[in-house]
Amino acid sequence: MTEKPRIFGAKYSVYVRIVRLVLAEKGVDYELLPVDVFAKGGPPFDYLDRHPFGRIPAFEHKGFSLYETSAVTRFVDEAFEGPKLQSSNIRERARCNQLMSIADNYVYPHLVWGIYVERVSKPRRGDITDEAKVAAAIPKARTCLKAISDLMGVNPWLAGKQLSLADLYVAPMLDYFLMVPEGGEMIQEYGNLEAWWSHVGVRRSMVSTSPV
């Protein structure tokens, strides 16, 4: 029996979901081993041996350990059979890398932490939304959607003519953002993104990795 890759993390995590999405799109079976970084007292002490920065996910396959989602997803794409999620066209590949970086540096902090966590996660656990933080994140979220929409242009996928890591990076972040009323309204300003979401949001990989 071939050894399954192992992901360490939690279903609620955007980054864990990105790795799960990539494995699902490649058609690779995997094990998800629970690690809750937000548990009281933090993750298990020995988890820091896998990920010295204490973030999720961490990844392992056949004795090869890796962390940082961009490295993990590129490795999975290259190491396993299945549809290629990085184009052989260098411009599309550069666009894909650009979008992954935009997702890491701007979409995740503003759409997920600045808005979703404040509007959904905090009230769910009985904490109060920081309205000033949401108000500050709204224009930044609009900049994110506009930038992604402009880069996508008339392409069917975010980075060009094929499904790529860029789509699988942005989708889980947008999924959380769209749970907030402001998110649902804002995406309507970007017709290409809205059309993209209407088929990406219902893909089997997205449905099977839903955090809710």
Ligand X SMILES: N[C@@H](CCC(=O)N[C@@H](CS)C(=O)NCC(=O)O)C(=O)O
Contact residues for 143 (Cβ-Cβ < 8 A; gap 6+)? 106
Please say which residue, 32 or 37, places its beta carbon nearer to ligand X.
37
Give the integer Cα–Cα distance in Å for 42 and 203: 33
Only one residue has tokens 């979220």, namely 141
Token representation of residue 40:
């009281």
Residue 83 carries which DSSP code? S
Please say which residue, 56 or 134, places its beta carbon nearer to ligand X.
56
Dihedral sign of CA atoms 194, 200, 206, 207 in order: positive
Only one residue has tokens 């629970």, namely 34
User: Given the rule CB under 6 A, which residues bind ligand X?
Assistant: 13-15, 37, 54-56, 68-70
In angstroms, the Cα distances linking 135 to 23, 114, 141 are 36, 9, 10
CB of 70 to ligand X, least distance (A): 6
CB of 62 to ligand X, least distance (A): 20
CB of 130 to ligand X, least distance (A): 17
Please say which residue, 160 or 172, places its beta carbon nearer to ligand X.
172
CB of 106 to ligand X, least distance (A): 14
Concatenate the DSSP letters of all residues of 86-134 into one string. Answer: S-SSHHHHHHHHHHHHHIIIIIIIIIIIIIIIIIIIHHHTTPPP-HHHH
CB of 101 to ligand X, least distance (A): 11
Please say which residue, 73 or 162, places its beta carbon nearer to ligand X.
73
Please say which residue, 54 or 83, places its beta carbon nearer to ligand X.
54
Please say which residue, 180 or 190, places its beta carbon nearer to ligand X.
180
CB of 68 to ligand X, least distance (A): 5
